[in-house]
Structure formats: structure tokens, C-alpha cells
Amino acid sequence: MSGGVVTAGWWIVTGTAVAALLLLGAALGCRARRWPPGRAATTLPAALVIAAVLAALAAVVFALVADDEALQAADGPVLGWMVGHRSPAWTGVAETASLLGGTVGTGGLAVVSAVVLWARGHRTRAGVWVVAVLVGSLTIRGLKAAVERPRPPVGTRLTVETSASLPSGHSLMAALGLGLTVLAVLTLLGPGGGRGRAVARGATVLVGAVLVVGIGASRAYLGVHWTTDVLAGWLVGGALTTLAVGVALALEARIPAIHPSEGVPVPPLR
């Protein structure tokens, strides 16, 4: 890794760590002021704390990437193990997951869920979802351009990729796009509703989690990403998802306060 890439890597580490501190400070501020009112007074700080923790963990991963020696005992052996345990069946599964779980597919699914939310009256959340997907796309491009990490050796790859390796765009957008889609489904299902809806909510979360893990793992299996690329993508995507939840909660709490005559506030995200 060249000196310029290492320097860029440490700038990313610093920026991510600062972002984590700002999110934690915002959570503490909301808690101290007991804002926003209602149920969101607990949910918003929790979302901000989760986003802060995920951002801090991403900073740790970026720090490992910026230090070549720290990765010699991590990424290489995992890649070697995956290459050594390939099979035609698993390769087919990985190729399918990678194809269907691309950034356009998972990001587009979140946008579709936003359209449904908009049609069902959850317009604030719908707008936040669309902005979050845009921010996620820009984040992928920005991090890849800043770090310019080389991908694994060509001999280990089962598909062609030309962009930089860090972070895995598939993993980041899977965590973000599918996370927002799952939250949209939970919003539409609503609380309560008996055992049937409880099962539907649980199944939605389980399917979403399996898809996120499967898409990220497929990229490492196919040899087009280091394991830390995938981990960084999951962490950043998760942070953006929880941050989107926090922003949506804040906006939903603020709108009724500004226009109290316009109806009952939209129920908070769960």
C-alpha cells in the first residue's frame, strides 16, 4: 500500500471516529433535553447511540486497513480458506446472491419501499429513505476514491471487478437498502395485530438479516473483496440505516410541534 493510500486511510479513520463522537454527543443532548417528546424521546437517542457504536467499529476496521501488517493475519487466511472450500453448488449460490444483491438492486428496493410509504401517508419516512440511499451511494464512491485499496489477486476472483476494494458496495448497500426495506415493512404492519402479524414481523427481520449476511459473504467467497471490505460495508451501512431512523424520528416529532392542527403524529419507527 502506497504512502498516499495510507494517509488517505488514516484521514478516513479520523473522520469516522469524529462522526461517532458527534452521534454520541447528539444522543446525550437529546436525552438531557428530553427531546423529542413522546415515545421517540427514548428511541431517538438509542438509534443515535447504535449509529455511533457502528461508526466507531468501522473506524477500527479502517485503521486495520491503513496498517498493512495488521491485515496479514486476517484477510489473507480467510480468503485462502474460502478459495479452498469452493464448490460448484456454493459458487452458483454466491454468484446469484452477488448478482441480485448489487447496489442498484438493494438500493432500488429501498426506494420502492419509500414510494409505498409515501402512498400510505408516511411521507417523512419516505423522503428520509430516499435521501439515505443517495447518501449511501455517495459514501461508497467517496470511500473507494479516498482509500483506493487494491482488490484480492486476480487469480482468486471468480468475477470481474474494476473499482477499488474498500468498502464492499454490495455489503454497504445491502445493510442500508434491505435494512430500510425491512423497517418500511414493519412500519406498514404496525404494532400489535395478534400472532399472525408478530410472525410476519419476525420473518421479515430474519429474511432481511439472512440476505444482508449472504450478499456480503458472497463477495468474499467470489474473491472480489477482502473480509474487512465486507465488514466495513456492513458497519457503515448499518450506521447509515440507524441514522436514517433517528432523522426520521426527529422530523416526525418536529412536524406536529410546528403544525399542531394538522393531525396526530405518525407512530414512531420500531
Predicted pLDDT of residue 255? 59
Predicted pLDDT of residue 8? 58
Predicted pLDDT of residue 45? 87
3-state DSSP of the chain:
CCHHHHHHHHHHHHHHHHHHHHHHHHHHHHHHHCCCCCCHHHHHHHHHHHHHHHHHHHHHHHHHHHCHHHHCCCHHHHHHHHHHCCCHHHHHHHHHHHHHCCHHHHHHHHHHHHHHHHHCCCHHHHHHHHHHHHHHHHHHHHHHHHHCCCCCCHHHCCCCCCCCCCCCHHHHHHHHHHHHHHHHHHHHHCCCCHHHHHHHHHHHHHHHHHHHHHHHHHHHHCCCCCHHHHHHHHHHHHHHHHHHHHHHHHHHHHHHHHCHHHCCCCCCCC
Predicted pLDDT of residue 185? 95
Predicted pLDDT of residue 4? 42
Predicted pLDDT of residue 31? 74
Predicted pLDDT of residue 136? 97
Q: Chunked in runs of 10, what are the mean pLDDT values of the chain (270 residues)?
A: 53 89 87 70 85 94 77 81 92 94 95 96 95 96 89 90 91 97 93 83 95 96 94 96 92 63 50
